[in-house]
Amino acid sequence: MGRKLEIFLVEMPLLAPFEISSGVSERRQCVIVRLEEDGLVGWGEAPADSQPFYSYETSETAFYIIKEFLSKPLMEAKDPNEFLNKVRNVRGHQMAKAGAEMALWDLEAKKNSIPLWKLLGGVREEIESGVSVGIQRSVDELLRVVSSYLDEGYRRIKLKIKPGWDKDIVGAVRREYPDIKLQVDANAAYRLQDWPSLKELDKYELLMIEQPLDYDDLVDHSILAKMLKTPICLDESIKKPEDSYKAYRLGSCSIINLKPARVGGLLNSKIIHDFCESVGMPIWIGGMLETGIGRGHLVAAATLPNVKFPNDISASSRYYEEDIVDPPWELTSRGTIRAPGAPGIGVEVLEEKLRKFSLRSWSSS
């Protein structure tokens, strides 16, 4: 088949520190996958960070798993479905698998000279963009940050919360902006016995509360869902297509934040999307501070028909002073991002810049 595979462990500085309930990020690591065949290059990204705080996967483990266990199947598989079948005996490591699988999708779209979003079955030429606002030093600082993002045109604000940084700050933002689309994300910071604090949020007419309880839980979320008026959205608990089915059957959530990297790539994303669409459960596409490469895959996923809420897909300039793609992803005046017309992910990768940010790389040849 004559394929060449390269993987890069990349570290890029963030514009500003990003804090969630489990910790603070100042620099962002990920693994970039470059798959070349017949002069065409497919790109993927495994957005596992340097620390195992969102997931047990890290950038180091993703690099190792792709190199040692996924590289041969990736070189041999004719399409994403065959690739996932070949790596079925590798348990977990969904982000590593996603980074590899996404490169296959991009390559396939470029072979067919069509945008990736059309190959996926997307139906919209622009996607609604929301923004995720990390935990700030004060309420005043939070209000200033929210104001700046609304001025940029973002269609929805998501506030990161944790015990002690929840009802007061949500109330302050809602008083200042009574009509905006607003939701919160706890990143699994609460326990079921904290339900009175979460119940307090019902009065603020939020779109949803995202992942309030344990990152592996489905059962306690099903109990909490009956206690709250605000819809529950699951993120970390949905690691594969089977989890979306279980969450639906248990009543653990009524919305899913679908992160393609978290569920093993775009094929599994499609399976989850199609299942949720069949049972009337809306989804939206979440982000993991991806570079412009991973962002291209997110934009493609966000064009699917059952994506019913604004997505955590922001402009390149939200996180990075300089991205590694051209053109960088930009927000329109309508608070949307356009699905590109060029083949594949629709942007050119600036390989010189990519190599500048690489801590190390590995090549199949």
pLDDT tens digit string along 311-363? 999 999 888 989 999 999 999 999 999 999 999 999 999 999 999 999 999 99
Would you state the pLDDT for residue 146? 97
What is the location of CATH 3.30.390.10 in the chain? 4-113+348-363
In the chain, the amino acid numbered 172 is A
One of 97, 158, 239, 259 is an active-site residue; which one? 259
Q: What are phi and psi of 361, to 5 degrees?
A: -145, 165
How does 70-93 read in b/e, with b if 16+ C-beta sit within 10 Å? Answer: bbebbbebeebeebbeebeebeeb
What is the number of other CB atoms lying within 10 angstroms of the CB of residue 168?
Answer: 11
One of 97, 160, 239, 270 is an active-site residue; which one? 160
In CATH, what number does 4-113+348-363 get? Answer: 3.30.390.10
pLDDT means per 10 residues in the chain (365 residues)? 92 84 82 97 97 95 98 97 97 98 98 98 97 93 96 94 95 97 97 97 98 98 98 98 98 98 98 98 96 98 98 91 95 95 98 97 94
pLDDT tens digit string along 57-86? 999 999 999 999 999 999 999 999 999 999
Question: Could you write out the DSSP letters of every residue in 254-319?
Answer: SEEEE-TTTTTSHHHHHHHHHHHHHHT--EEE---S--HHHHHHHHHHHTSTTB-S-BS---GGGT
Would you state the pLDDT for residue 157? 97
What is the location of CATH 3.20.20.120 in the chain? 118-338
Would you state the pLDDT for residue 22? 67
Question: Is residue 97 annotated as a catalytic residue, yes or no?
Answer: no
Q: Are 263 and 270 in contact (CB under 8 A)?
A: no
Q: Are 44 and 99 in contact (CB under 8 A)?
A: yes
Would you state the pLDDT for residue 15? 86
Best CATH choice for the domain 118-338 from the list 3.30.460.20, 1.20.1250.20, 3.40.190.290, 3.20.20.120: 3.20.20.120
* Distance, C-alpha 317 to centroid of its chain: 17
Q: What is the CA radius of gyration of the chain?
A: 19
* Distance, C-alpha 319 to centroid of its chain: 14
Q: What global pTM score does this model have?
A: 0.96
How does 190-206 read in b/e, with b if 16+ C-beta sit within 10 Å? Answer: bebebbeebeebeebeb
Q: Are 336 and 126 in contact (CB under 8 A)?
A: yes
Would you state the pLDDT for residue 1? 56
What is the number of other CB atoms lying within 10 angstroms of the CB of residue 2?
Answer: 7
Compute CA distances 291 → 14, 142, 153, whole Å.
11, 25, 21
Question: Is residue 356 annotated as a catalytic residue, yes or no?
Answer: no
